[in-house]
Amino acid sequence: MRLGYYARLFAVQARASLTTAMQYRADFLVQGLTSLYWLGWNLVPLLVLYDDRATVAGWSFGAALVVMAHFVIVRGILEGAINPSLGAVVEQIRSGAFDYTLLRPADAQFLVSTARFAPWRALDVLGGVGLLIYAFVRLGHAPSPAQLGAGLVLLGAGLAVMYGLWIMIVATAFWVVRMDNLIYLLSSVFDAARWPASVFRGVWKVVFTFVIPLALMTTFPARALLGTVTWQAGIGCLVGALLVSIVARLVWRLALRSYTSASS
C-alpha cells in the first residue's frame, strides 16, 4: 500500500520533470549536445596519460576505461537525478517555499529527492554504457554473468553512498541556509572518481576511501566487472553503503527538527 503510494508519487513527479524539460526545446537540445561533448572531453586526460605507458598503478588502458565509464554513468545519475532535486531544496529552504513540502502528508526526504529530474542526463548514462562496452571490446573479453551481477550490486551501493553524502550536505542547509558552495566543492571532489582509487597515495588515499568514499562509487563496481574484487571487499562496500544511508537518514531527521523556516 505505502509502496504503491510512493510509486504513484514518483510517477507524478517524474512526469512533471519530463514535461518541464520538454517545454524548453532549445534547452533540451543544448543539454543533449553538452552531454556528448563532455563524454568526449572526459577521455582526453586518459588518452594523454596512456600515450607512452602501458599501465598506471597496475591499471591497463582498458581497465582504466572501465572505471571512467562508471564515472560517466554515476555522474550522469548524479547530475540527472540527485543534483537537480537537492539543489532545488536548498533554494526552497532559503526562500521558505520548503514550508509547502512539509505541509504534504508524505515523507519529506522522498518528496525533495524526487522533486526534479534532468531527463537529458540519460544521454550521459547511455554514453557511459557505450564506453563500458567499448572498454571490454578493447580488453578482448566480456564479464561473466556473476561479475555483471556483482558489478550492478556494487554500482547500486556506490549510488547509495553518493546519495547519502548529498542528503547530508543538503541537511546542513537547514542550519546554515547557504549551501551552494559545499555542493560545488563536493562536485569538484567527485571529479577525482574518474581515476582508479589505487592511483591515489598517502593522505588522498585515506580521504577518498573513508571521508569521501569515491572508491566505493566507481572503482569497486568497475573491479567487480573486471573480476578483481574479493568478496570480503564487496561485503565491505555493502556495509559501508548501508552505514552511510543510515547516518544520512538520521542527519536529515535531526536537521528537519531544527528547521525554523524563513520569515514571510
Partner 1 sequence: MTIEVAGLSKHFRVHRRPPGLAAAVRSLWRRRYDTVKAVDDVSFTIARGERVGFLGPNGAGKTTTMKVLSGLLHPTAGAVRVEGHQPFRREPDFLRRITLVMGQKQQLLWDLPPSETYALNRAVFGVDPAQARQTIAELTELLGLAGLTDKPTRQLSLGERMKCELAAALLHRPTTLFLDEPTIGLDVAMQVTIRDFIRDYNQRHDATVLLTSHYMDDVVALCPRVIVIDGGRLIHDGDLRALVKTMLPDKLVSFTGGVPAEEVARLGEVVKAEGGRTTVRVPEARLREVVSHVLDRAGADLAVEDPPLEDVMRKLFKDKRAAAPAAPPAEPPP
Q: Which residues of this chain interact with partner 1, rule CB under 8 A?
A: 5, 8-9, 11-13, 15-16, 19-20, 23, 95-97, 99-100, 102-106, 111, 257, 259-264
Distance (Å, whole) CA 197 – CA 216:
9
List 166's β-bridge partners, or say none: none
Distance (Å, whole) CA 217 – CA 160:
9
Q: Closest CB to partner 1 among 120 and 220?
A: 120
Amino acid at 263: S
Q: Closest CB to partner 1 among 94 and 205?
A: 94
Output the nine-digit C-alpha cell for 133: 562496452
Q: Closest CB to partner 1 among 27 and 180?
A: 27
Q: Closest CB to partner 1 among 8 and 138?
A: 8
> Beta-carbon neighbour count of residue 250 at 10 Å?
12
Q: Closest CB to partner 1 among 119 and 164?
A: 119
> Closest Cα to residue 28, out of 120, 115, 126, 121?
120
Min separation Cβ 250 and partner 1, Å: 18
Output the nine-digit C-alpha cell for 76: 550522469
Min separation Cβ 12 and partner 1, Å: 4
List 59's β-bridge partners, or say none: 56
Min separation Cβ 19 and partner 1, Å: 6
Q: Closest CB to partner 1 among 23 and 232?
A: 23
Min separation Cβ 214 and partner 1, Å: 31
Min separation Cβ 121 and partner 1, Å: 18
53 to 46, 50, 56, 97, 139: CA distances (angstroms): 11, 5, 7, 54, 16
Helix, strand or coil, per DSSP, at residue 150: helix
Min separation Cβ 100 and partner 1, Å: 4
Min separation Cβ 218 and partner 1, Å: 33
List 56's β-bridge partners, or say none: 59
Alpha helices (H) along the chain = 2-23, 25-49, 61-77, 83-95, 98-102, 108-113, 122-139, 145-176, 180-190, 202-206, 214, 220-226, 231-257
Q: Closest CB to partner 1 among 19 and 34?
A: 19
